[in-house]
């Protein structure tokens, strides 16, 4: 995303803290009522060496008058944002990704994230608000916590 101001507004709306050192952000938009675009979803990441912490995704889609089979399914938008962020982070050299679940457990599990203890976080990414921690490492859960926390 070129301008994170709209993304930050979505994070504020969802009461999710904005990361201090955002490395990159991905957004999902739809046509707005004014003929422009309306940001409906965002995910932000911060990096430390070969790890990244994903914040979000936050999705705010209109529901009034939207059919059940609409492409505006919030879980599908969240999944697409996470997938894009995973691809981008790994292209930048991240081997391990962390996130707080924010109630999206089925999205994280479907994409290969596993629950891990807080001690798995590198010190540079520790202390972020939220409950629970999931991690993904190169598409596999075969890794030790000792390796991940270094």
Burial environment of residue 131 by CB neighbours within 10 A (0 to 12, 13 to 18, 19 or more)? exposed
pLDDT band at 33 (very low <50, low <70, confident <90, very high): confident
List the CATH code of the domain at 5-148.
Answer: 3.40.630.30
Q: Could you tell me the pLDDT band of residue 45, with boundaries at 50, 70 and 90? A: very high
Query: pLDDT at residue 18 above 80?
Result: yes
The reported pLDDT for the residue numbered 79 is: 96
pLDDT digits 0-9 by tens, 102-129? 889 999 999 999 999 999 999 999 988 8
Residue with the bigger pLDDT between 135 and 129: it is 135
Higher pLDDT, 11 or 71: 11
Q: How far is CA 49 from CA 19, 46, 53, 129, 150, in A?
A: 16, 10, 11, 21, 10
Q: What is the pLDDT of residue 4?
A: 78
Indicate the burial class of 93 (C-beta count within 10 angstroms; 0-12, 13-18, 19 or more). Answer: exposed
Examine the pLDDT at 150 and tell me if it is beyond 60. Answer: no
Residue 5 binned pLDDT confidence (cut-offs 50, 70, 90): confident
For residue 48, pLDDT beyond 90: yes
Contact of 149 with 121, CB cutoff 8 Å: yes
């Amino acid at each position: 995303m070129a301008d994170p101001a709209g993304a930050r507004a979505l994070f504020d709306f969802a009461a999710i803290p904005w990361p201090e050192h955002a490395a990159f952000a991905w957004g999902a938009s739809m046509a707005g009522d004014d003929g422009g675009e309306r940001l409906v979803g965002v995910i932000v990441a911060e990096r430390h060496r070969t790890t990244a912490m994903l914040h979000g995704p936050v999705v705010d889609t209109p529901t009034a008058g939207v059919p059940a089979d609409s492409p505006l399914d919030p879980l599908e938008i969240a999944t697409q944002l996470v997938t894009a962020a995973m691809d981008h982070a790994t292209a930048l050299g991240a081997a391990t990704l962390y996130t707080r679940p924010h109630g999206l457990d089925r999205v994280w599990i479907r994409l290969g994230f596993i629950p891990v203890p807080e001690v798995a976080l590198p010190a540079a990414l520790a202390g972020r608000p939220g409950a629970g921690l999931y991690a993904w490492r190169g598409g596999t859960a075969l890794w030790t916590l000792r390796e991940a926390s270094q």
